[in-house]
Chain A
Amino acid sequence: GEDVEQSLFLSVREGDSSVINCTYTDSSSTYLYWYKQEPGAGLQLLTYIFSNMDMKQDQRLTVLLNKKDKHLSLRIADTQTGDSAIYFCAECVNRDDKIIFGKGTRLHILP
């Protein structure tokens, strides 16, 4: 079946790196995504990675994909208060263009 799992909460000190982890089940996934949801707003695509890539870096964001273990992570370097949000991992199940979202990880920034 299709399922995306991620831990529900993460607390990080301002200036440290945040690492949010996710596991997925569908090996036919083509794209994997990280979406960010700020309070009172809809989800916004942060970054994505194609399934034949191992790593993608975009400024403070680093995405790592371990396809063998079906494990995806998002690293945010130098975490700022503005990074406080819920982060959703998602996979695109190519055979029917469906995107399956995890339940989201709430990132809390400590001063």
Chain B
Amino acid sequence: DSGVTQTPKHLITATGQRVTLRCSPRSGDLSVYWYQQSLDQGLQFLIQYYNGEERAKGNILERFSAQQFPDLHSELNLSSLELGDSALYFCASSPAGGLYNEQFFGPGTRLTVL
């Protein structure tokens, strides 16, 4: 158990819909990262937040957005869902100024878009 929690574990929805994935980082970790894992694209970095502010952006679509709240939990919002958005979405956290920047991964949310 990494200490990072993600809800829900599974999500099934229809095309065109909007969903919110939630992540609670490890106690004391200030950075939160979101990744998308699919069979064809592998593990893609989406976005990073650090203490409430956006820190780095990866291959995140405009239909997707994220935020990190004052209590440091984070939400990833996916809208106008398409079949191709079906994937495993991971959240990871890391401590501020970590020596080697290890990321601790949550168990993931499996999104299925029908």
What secondary structure prevails in chain B residues at the interface with A? strand
The A84-107 residues at the B interface (CB cut-off 8 A) are 88, 92, 96-104
What's the count of A-B pairs with C-beta under 8 Å?
56
Chain B residues lying within 8 Å of A33, measured Cβ to Cβ, are 102
Are B56 and A98 closer than 8 Å at their CB atoms?
Answer: yes
Closest to B58 in A: A98
Q: How many residues of A contact B (CB 8 A)?
A: 22
CA distance A84 to B13 in the complex (A): 32
Q: How far is the CB of B101 from chain A (nearest CB, A)?
A: 5
In the complex, whether B107 has a CB less than 8 A from a CB of chain A is yes
Chain B residues lying within 8 Å of A35, measured Cβ to Cβ, are 105
Partner of B101, one of A41, A43, A97, A102: A97
Interface 1/0s, chain B 74-111, versus A by CB < 8 A?
00000000000000001010000000111111111000
Q: Interface residues of B toward A: which range?
A: 20 to 34
Chain B residues lying within 8 Å of A96, measured Cβ to Cβ, are 55-56
What secondary structure prevails in chain A residues at the interface with B? strand
In the complex, whether A42 has a CB less than 8 A from a CB of chain B is yes
Closest to A104 in B: B42
CA distance A33 to B2 in the complex (A): 17
Q: Chain B: residues with CB nearer than 8 A to chain A?
A: 2, 4, 31, 33, 35, 41-43, 45, 48, 55-56, 58, 90, 92, 100-108
Q: Which 5 A-B pairs have the closest CB atoms?
A: A103-B42, A42-B105, A101-B43, A43-B105, A98-B56
